[in-house]
Structure 1
Amino acid sequence: MRARAVAVTVALTAALLAGSAAPALAAAPTAPAAAPCPGQAAPPGPPADEETVPVTPLPVPDQPVGGPGMGTCGEVRSPGTAPPPPVGVASYVVADLDSGAVLAARAPHARERPASTLKMLLSLVVTDRLDPSTVVVGTPEDANVDGSRAGVGPGGRYTVDQLFHGLILNSGNDTANALARTMGGIPATLAAMQSEARTLGALDTRPATVSGLDGPGMSSSAYDLALFFRAVAQRPRITTVMHTRTYPFPGFADKPGFLTSNDDPLLDTPGFIGGKTGFTDAARHTFAGGVDRNGRRLVVVIMRGEQHPVRMVDQAKALLDWGFATPRTAAPVGTLVDPAPTPPSDTATPAQPAPAAAASSTASTVAIAAGALALLTVVALLVLRRRRRKA
């Protein structure tokens, strides 16, 4: 089963790679290309056991998504603010959810393994595409998936809403598998997740599994996870589940149902908006979460950290406390980009003059006067921007 899953993943990854390169948040045409940070174009080694074949890293855009400050290879903070607290993580982002202002970051675009924080991206496509009342029958493949499980069993009957609760509260890889199957299968779901990531501007993210388990080519970044959380925070269906403390999960066959509990470490924090933890041996610990304090909403993302000597949640809280202590007027070091506009579905997309002009865009118009008898020809040149779009 594992070999088949890896084969599907590798095939899909190759297909996604073939058409996925895109510039992000293009700066002025005269701006020099930013030099990529050494060793940050792909998650660090050694490879995970599941990363059975080498996969070419995603292209690094010429200009960093979110502005020049987001191209830092180290740490950056709002000018005139105190240094952020020391944290033992490889990368992080602290940003305002409403304005998108990034207050501080460490290696924000360094590619890391997201682990289960990738389930935020899955939750976005699930809530867009599946009816909560749809009934799904569990399979042996669901029940036998690796990693954390909510309790899906073969022959068990579950609504999409019940599976979604298991996905968020218990980080269930079994529920992720069942939801993906309901969406048309693993390859189709991965393609939907990749498309959603690009729409959000998350160009460091390539999902290799629907659950966040490690796989060939898997990557995301602290910046991308902040984009995902920002989108999640705008979906009441998701945040309501993130606030749920306990939930009755159905049984199957002769096994009775049981009460499942929310394990989010920020749950009891005043102003809690939502959060998602993650862990694999290769990714180490990851976390994304948000808090509202006196009407100011901040998100924190931390990646590739450890629980000792300071717990990840305490490191996240320290960064949030620092962020709330910064003045609201502090100049940002970058910006969480807005999602690309969705083109009208009933409007034909005109052919583009060059393959480099594709996807989300802004248009600029160049007018050229020609002819002696008031003949005016207007040539529209589309300058398309791809937004940089990670578990």
Structure 2
Amino acid sequence: MTPTWTRRAACALVAVLTVGLLGLPLDVDSAVAVPLPTAPPPAVTTPVTDHCPHKIATPPAVDASEVVAPGSPTPTPLPVPTPAVGGEDLAGCGVVADPAAGPVPPRLTSAGWLIADLESGRIIAAKDPHGRYRPASTIKVLLALVVLDELDLAAHVVPTAEDWSTEGDSCGMGPGGVYTVRDLLTGLLLVSGNDCANALARELGGVDAALEKMNDRARALGAHDTRAASPSGLDAAGMSSSPYDLALVFRAAMAEPTFRQMIATPTFRFPGYPRRPDVPGDKDHPPYDMYSTNRLLLDGYPGIVGGKTGYTDDARKTFVGAAERDGRTVIIVQMFGLSVDGDLYWDQAASMFEYGFRTDPAISVGHLVEPTAASGESSTPAPPQTEKRSLTTGSDQASATSVQILIGLVAALIAVVLLLLGLRLAGRR
């Protein structure tokens, strides 16, 4: 019979091996592994995209907003560029990050996101960077670029019934109002006015002409995941963009002083319009103070430059913005995300900015390409040489941990069996 002390020795050995191989804390006095405290299940589930569900097309629509009219063709998905624009590591669909930067922000609900340095174009970290998602009103940044190129900000715009009847968020245009292009562009960026988007598209030659110009500009920027199907960002068949593309578009817009000034404006007095005689009991509509939809700007997040929000039922929450600190400007993009209890989208955005600012400026997992002329092709200069580091993804880390645990358990079991066999043989002598 095996003595009691040998059984205790075997148990102690199991504990020691388990601790050493699995990394559990040990109570030395009792030689028993002390389990880690059981954490409550996380309230936020980060979408898994490692299997590239949105590499070709956007997530399925939840309503009929993208149903094409009878007799109209259904837009085909955009071609997927090969190699991936911005670097080979960006071809992946999971988290792309440098371990030297530490863990990426937790509790992010966006299926796709990106963090980049504005000046250098280095991408600090990303998730599904070229995944195709609906941009919602962040596409208005692309419209703003075209407006700044082609329209006189001081020119007057006469509104139409189609403008003030456009669905969704509104600047509050009305008949008899006197508006400049600057008024409409400011309203477009501050409160995401779809009425302003419609009026600006008309000034560019009509919706179809405006969309053609927007898509031409996207191609020139190297944004090959992007197709604007409505100037406002309202869901429409074929609408598509990606975290990488929105970063390209926003970076180009940030080079425009007027754009930077507008997105940094927390409030703006928008012109009113006279009473409508066709509406019984209507009164004059005086100018009013509109406020930015960017909560980081209104709440005074340190260093916030500005940004553009978006939301539709199909796109979910989207955001692209920039913040500056200690001479460094960081861009973030969020797509196909949500606010949940205890984890607001703005808190997620702030955590992404903080990650970007604390990361070594030399770290890069890819780069934002530089815009070119109207050829539609983008230059892809090699980023400055830095020390080569391995990149990790969430699935890689989980697989490595699982293998380590399995090896540890097998080794511990074999050691115990050999010890007990040795002790049993010794007891028979």
1:323 aligns with 2:356: yes
Task: Read off the aligned partner of 1:106 and give its amino acid letter.
Answer: K
Query: Superposition pairs for residues 197-276 of structure 1, below 5 Å?
Result: 197-254=218-275, 255-267=285-297, 268-276=300-308
Larger Rg: 2
Structure whose residues are more often helix by fraction: 2
Quote the Cα distance in structure 2 between the aligned partners of 1:250 and 1:273.
25
Contact 2:369 2:378 (C-alpha < 8 Å) held by counterparts: no
Contact 2:243 2:334 (C-alpha < 8 Å) held by counterparts: yes
Give the aligned length: 312
Task: Read off the aligned partner of 1:261 and give its amino acid letter.
Answer: Y
Q: Deviation string for 1:128-154 (max 9, x for gaps)?
A: 110011100111100110110010113
Task: Read off the aligned partner of 1:325 and give its amino acid letter.
Answer: R
Contact 1:133 1:161 (C-alpha < 8 Å) held by counterparts: yes
Query: What is the identity percentage for the equivalent residue pairs of Structure 1 and Structure 2?
Result: 47
1:284 aligns with 2:316: yes
The residue aligned with 2:98 is 78
After superposition, the Cα gap between the structure-2 partners of 1:38 and 1:218, relative to the gap in structure 1 and judged at 3 Å, is same
The residue aligned with 1:360 is 377
Contact 2:190 2:293 (C-alpha < 8 Å) held by counterparts: yes
Contact 2:222 2:378 (C-alpha < 8 Å) held by counterparts: no
| RMSD after superposition | 1.6
Kindly state the Cα deviation for residue 38 of structure 1 after the two structures are TM-superposed.
4.0
1:340 aligns with 2:355: no
Contact 1:266 1:289 (C-alpha < 8 Å) held by counterparts: no
Contact 1:116 1:171 (C-alpha < 8 Å) held by counterparts: yes
Kindly state the Cα deviation for residue 76 of structure 1 after the two structures are TM-superposed.
0.7
User: Alignment partner for residue 300 of structure 1, among 332, 348, 366?
Assistant: 332
SS in structure 2 at match of 1:89? coil
Q: Deviation string for 1:87-116 (max 9, x for gaps)?
A: 111000000011110010000000000000
Task: Read off the aligned partner of 1:154 and give its amino acid letter.
Answer: P
Unmatched segments (≥5 aa) in structure 1: 1-34, 343-357, 363-391
Q: Deviation string for 1:337-391 (max 9, x for gaps)?
A: 000135xxxxxxxxxxxxxxx64377xxxxxxxxxxxxxxxxxxxxxxxxxxxxx
Quote the Cα distance in structure 1 between the aligned partners of 2:316 and 2:76.
22
User: Alignment partner for residue 193 of structure 1, among 200, 204, 214?
Assistant: 214
After superposition, the Cα gap between the structure-2 partners of 1:361 and 1:61, relative to the gap in structure 1 and judged at 3 Å, is closer
Q: Runs ≥4 in structure 1, deviation > 4 angstroms?
A: none
Q: Structure 1 length as normaliser, TM-score?
A: 0.77
Task: Read off the aligned partner of 1:264 and give its amino acid letter.
Answer: N
The residue aligned with 1:134 is 155
Quote the Cα distance in structure 1 between the aligned partners of 2:146 and 2:131.
24
The residue aligned with 1:367 is none
Task: Read off the aligned partner of 2:197 and give its amino acid letter.
Answer: A
Contact 1:111 1:204 (C-alpha < 8 Å) held by counterparts: yes
Kindly state the Cα deviation for residue 262 of structure 1 after the two structures are TM-superposed.
1.7
Quote the Cα distance in structure 2 between the aligned partners of 1:37 and 1:75.
11
SS in structure 2 at match of 1:98? coil
Structure whose residues are more often strand by fraction: 1
Contact 1:139 1:155 (C-alpha < 8 Å) held by counterparts: no
The residue aligned with 1:7 is none
The residue aligned with 1:37 is 52
SS in structure 2 at match of 1:232? helix
Q: Structure 2 length as normaliser, TM-score?
A: 0.70
Quote the Cα distance in structure 1 between the aligned partners of 2:352 and 2:378.
34
